[in-house]
A and B are shown apart, each in its own frame.
Chain A
Amino acid sequence: MPDLLLELFSEEIPARMQAQAAETLRKLVTDALVERGLLYEGAKAFVTPRRLALAVHGLPGRQSDTREERKGPRVGAPEGAVQGFLKSAGLTSLDQATIQSDPKKGDFYVAVIERPGRATTEVIAEIVPQIVRTFPWPKSMRWGTGTMRWVRPLHSIVCTFGTEVEDPEVVRFEVEGIVSSNVTSGHRFLAPETFEVRRLDDWMAKLEAAKVIVDRERRKSIIMADARNLALVHGLELVEDEGLLEEVSGLVEWPVALMGSFDEAFLDIPDEVIRATIRANQKCFVLKDPRTGRLANRFILVSNLAASDDGVAIVAGNGRVIRARLSDAKFFWDTDRKTRLEERLGKFEQITFHEKIGSQAERIARIATLARAIAPSVGADPDAAELAGRLVKADLLTEVVGEFPELQGLMGRYYAQGEGLPAEIATACEDHYKPQGPSDRVPSAPVSVAVALADKIDTLVGFWAIDEKPTGSKDPYALRRAALGVVRIILDNKLRLPLRPLLVSAARPLLGEGHFEAHPHDVFRLESLADKVVSELLRNLARRLLQADPNAAPEDVARVEGASMSGDLADDLIAFFAERLKVHVRERGARHDLVDAVFALPEQDDLLMIVARVDALQRFLETEDGRTLLAGYRRAVNILRIEEKKDGARYEGPADAALLAEPAEQRLAEAIETVKAEAARAVAEEHFQGAMAALAQLRAPVDAFFEAVTVNASDSALRVNRLRLLDEIRAATRAIADFDRIEG
Chain B
Amino acid sequence: MDTALPPHMRPDKSFQGLLLTLQRFWADQGCVILQPYDMEVGAGTFHPATTLRALGPRHWKAAYVQPSRRPKDGRYGENPNRLQHYYQFQVILKPSPDNLQDLYLQSLAAIGIDTRLHDVRFVEDDWESPTLGAWGLGWECWCDGMEVSQFTYFQQVAGFECAPVAGELTYGLERLAMYVQGVENVYDLNFNGRDGAERVSYGDVFKQAEQEYSRHNFEHADTDMLLEQFRMAEGACTRYLAAGDAGERHLMVLPAYDQCIKASHVFNLLDARGVISVTERQSYILRVRELAKACGAAWLKTEAGGAA
Contact = CB atoms under 8 A, between A and B. Distances in A.
A139 B124 CA distance: 12
Given A15-B124, A350-B278, A324 B81 contact: yes
A539 interface: no
Contacts, number: 101
Interface residues of B, number: 36
A14 B96 CA distance: 20
Interface stretch (A114-122, A315-323, A555-563, A736-744): A315-323
Interface stretch (A306-314, A406-414, A610-618, A699-707): A306-314
Contacts of A305: 115-116, 118-119
Contact of B119 (A11, A14, A152, A314): A314
A308 B117 CA distance: 6
A144 B119 contact: no
A140 B117 CA distance: 32
Contact of A303 (B98, B119, B153, B179): B119
B119 A304 contact: yes
Given A301-B145, A304-B119, A144 B98 contact: yes
Contact of B146 (A151, A152, A321): A321
A282 interface: yes
B48 interface: no
Interface string A348-381: 0010000000000000000000000000000000
A4 interface: no
A153 interface: yes
A218 interface: no
A320 B146 contact: yes
A317 B146 CA distance: 7
Nearest to B162: A142
A144 B155 CA distance: 11
B139 to A, nearest CB: 6
Given A307-B117, A317-B118, A324-B81, A142 B165 contact: yes
A11 B96 contact: no
A323 B98 CA distance: 37
A143 B167 CA distance: 8
B144 A313 contact: yes
Interface in B140-175: 143-146, 153, 155, 163-165, 167
A318 B137 contact: no
Contacts of B122: 11-12, 49
Contacts of A307: 116-119
Given A301-B145, A316-B144, A141 B136 contact: yes
Contact of B121 (A142, A155, A251, A327): A251
B306 interface: no
Given A16-B124, A350-B277, A145 B95 contact: yes
A284 B138 CA distance: 22
Contact of A144 (B96, B137, B277): B96
Given A141-B137, A147-B163, 17 more contacts: A15-B123, A139-B126, A141-B136, A142-B155, A143-B153, A189-B115, A303-B119, A304-B119, A307-B116, A307-B117, A316-B144, A317-B119, A318-B144, A321-B145, A323-B184, A324-B81, A350-B278
20 contacts: A11-B101, A11-B122, A12-B121, A141-B137, A141-B155, A141-B165, A142-B165, A143-B153, A144-B95, A144-B96, A144-B164, A151-B137, A155-B98, A251-B121, A307-B117, A316-B144, A317-B119, A323-B184, A324-B81, A324-B184
Interface of B: 80-81, 95-98, 101, 115-124, 126, 136-139, 143-146, 153, 155, 163-165, 167, 179, 184, 277-278
Interface of A: 11-12, 14-16, 49, 139-145, 147, 151-153, 155, 189, 251, 282, 284, 301, 303-305, 307-309, 313-314, 316-318, 320-324, 327, 350
